[in-house]
Amino acid sequence: MNEENQIRRIDVLAIGLFGLAVGALTLGVAQLGWIQHKNMVGALVIALIFGGVVQVLAGITDIRYNEQLGGTALTMYGFLWITLCTVKLVSANTTFQFDAVLYAPINLVYAVFSAVMIFLTAYRNLTLSALHVIITLTFLATTFARLDFISELLPGWGHIIVGLMAFYHAVGSLTQAFTGRSILPLGPPLLFHTHKHVHSIAKVM
């Protein structure tokens, strides 16, 4: 039973990371100006579905299998993508326009959330923790871009790197789950839980 739950957990995380990869790569390409303005609505829909809906569904499923860390991260990131993409779609198709400063607080809050996730995912593997380092830096860059301190180029490249790293981890976790080998190594955990060792010592005493 535990082995079955572990396989399910890895597969669900991979689904969420695949969604993040597609959404982040699409957004990054758009921010770098490689998508024509007439196709921007289509790019937002892709980012909404893959970056938002897919991550939320994967996160809810992860929580169902008692995986709080992955479920919380996927769900919260997914709702962020849904919110921001919906706001941009409304702005693109109506006369309502939202000030860029509106996005700064939410990006700053998520930068702090992602910084916490760097520490928590360090108990999983190096790649997942490094992914959250890039996510945190991208959120900070996006915050500065919303405040017109920098251009969209730096957040754009950040999203490209996030997408590539998310895709790498998704493929790596899937291949490891179904082959039992680390074809794409994800790296060792950077931190280790100590409560299990304390519990074992207590039992011996």
Write the CB contacts of 2 (distance below 8 Å, at least 6 apart in sequence): none
Give the pTM.
Answer: 0.87
pLDDT at 133 over 60: yes
- Residue 85: pLDDT above 90? yes
The Cα–Cα gap between 122 and 126 comes to 6
pLDDT digits (tens, 9 = 90+) for 36-79: 888 999 999 999 999 999 999 999 999 988 888 999 999 999 99
Output the average pLDDT for the chain.
87
What pLDDT score was predicted for residue 172? Answer: 94
User: Residue 196: pLDDT above 60?
Assistant: no
Q: How many CA atoms lie within 13 A of 4 on its CB side?
A: 1
Write the pLDDT tens digit of every residue in 102-127. 788 898 999 999 999 999 999 999 99
